[in-house]
Structures are given as structure tokens and as C-alpha cells.
Chain A
Amino acid sequence: GAVVSQHPSRVICKSGTSVKIECRSLDFQATTMFWYRQFPKQSLMLMATSNEGSKATYEQGVEKDKFLINHASLTLSTLTVTSAHPEDSSFYICSADGGLAQGTQYFGPGTRLTVL
């Protein structure tokens, strides 16, 4: 099956620093990737939809200047959390359009961000 990787799997940083998370589709090309955040015991919250070669579409309430998304190629999308603060601590998960059928997504393993 299709594999999506994320790097790093875990990051701890100081408040005020920026953190970049990479999402790669390893054996397929992904025109569309999605970025989610998930708080403990809660569901996925879609942050933005990333399309290769164009600007990301952010969900209402998500600060586009704080969560910078770049989808430079058909296999790589990056999420940069700028000037991270403790309230940004969360589990960030990316997914790629599966192409299997409309709506199917292949998820990465997630990145746990802890901001001190």
C-alpha cells in the first residue's frame, strides 16, 4: 500500500523557535496533501489543504502566517510552525490523497510537538 512518512516523529523546542515538519509520499505522487492537528483523545482537526505548486487553503480559524505550508513537489509538503508557543503543542499529522477513491487518504505516522 501507499506509504506516507513524516519527519521528525517527535520534537521538543523552546518557545519562540520555528519548527519544520516534512511529509513525504514514498511510493506515489500526491497532488493534494492535508495537514491535521489532534489533541489527546480528540478527533482530527483539518488545518489546511495543500496542493502542489499552489498556495495552501487554510481552514477557518487557522493562522496562515503561523502555520506555513509549502508543497513544492508531488512527493513533499512541509508545515512550519513559526514562533511556536506552548499552546501549539500537539500531534500534527499529514495525509496524502490516496487516489484509490474520492476521499481516501493515506496518513503519515504523525509528529508530536512539545513547546516548552
Chain B
Amino acid sequence: QKEVEQDPGPLSVPEGAIVSLNCTYSNSAFQYFMWYRQYSRKGPELLMYTYSSGNKEDGRFTAQVDKSSKYISLFIRDSQPSDSATYLCASNTNAGKSTFGDGTTLTVKP
């Protein structure tokens, strides 16, 4: 079993929709949670990070962590075609290296 599980999709939504991307994890020691966005043939870019449980909002993006259920979510409001990419969740203990999910491919259709 992978430590971080992510539904690979693909996920296709119309422009303006609310997108929900989710991951689950199994390692109780994970305390830091990140979301990265990767466009085709590019390196990932850090979107958001959170520590422990709770919500964090940045513009149209909201990251949510529920440590009791080991569930990580990223919500995108008013989705745009430019949001079309692969989204990777990642978790980290305090030891340095992150564990990544396999990524969810999102397409936002105009």
C-alpha cells in the first residue's frame, strides 16, 4: 500500500466549476502537506502547503487537511482552462523527504 494515495483521474470539468481533488495517506507521522501543480513537460510548482489539520485559502484555492481521517483536499473555485494540469499532493514528516501521490490530471473545458 502506498503511503499517499491519489485518484489519477482524469477529471474533466466545465469552466467555472468547483473542483475537488483528494488524497489519503496512511503514515500518522505526516505533519506537513503540500499541493503541487505540474503542467505538461514542466517541473511541478508549489501551490499550497499546510501544517497539521485545518484549512488554508489562497485566492481561488483552498487546501484542507483532516488528520483524524488522514484526508487531504484541494478545492479550486471558478476553475479556468489555465488550471488544466496534473495536481500532486505530498506529505512530509520532519525528516526531509516528501512522499508524493501519483497525481490527478485535471482538464477544465472552456
Contact = CB atoms under 8 A, between A and B. Distances in A.
B102 A42 contact: yes
Interface stretch (B14-22, B64-72, B77-85, B89-97): B89-97
Interface in A60-116: 91, 93, 95, 97-98, 100-110, 112
Nearest to A94: B43
B88 A43 contact: yes
Say what secondary structure dominates the interface of chain B.
Answer: strand
A43 B94 contact: no
A109 B43 contact: yes
Interface in A6-60: 6, 32, 34, 41-44, 46, 49
Contact of B103 (A4, A32, A43): A43
B75 interface: no
A46 B42 contact: no
A91 B43 CA distance: 9
A43 B6 CA distance: 10
A2 B58 CA distance: 18
B34 A44 contact: no
A109 B44 CA distance: 8
B41 A110 contact: yes
Contacts of B101: 43
A108 B97 contact: no
B97 A46 contact: yes
A4 B101 CA distance: 22
Q: Max chain B CB contacts within 10 Å: which of A43, A91, A103?
A: A103
Given A93-B44, A95-B43, A104-B46, 15 more contacts: A4-B43, A43-B88, A44-B100, A46-B97, A103-B33, A103-B34, A103-B49, A104-B32, A107-B36, A107-B44, A107-B45, A108-B43, A110-B41, A110-B43, A112-B41
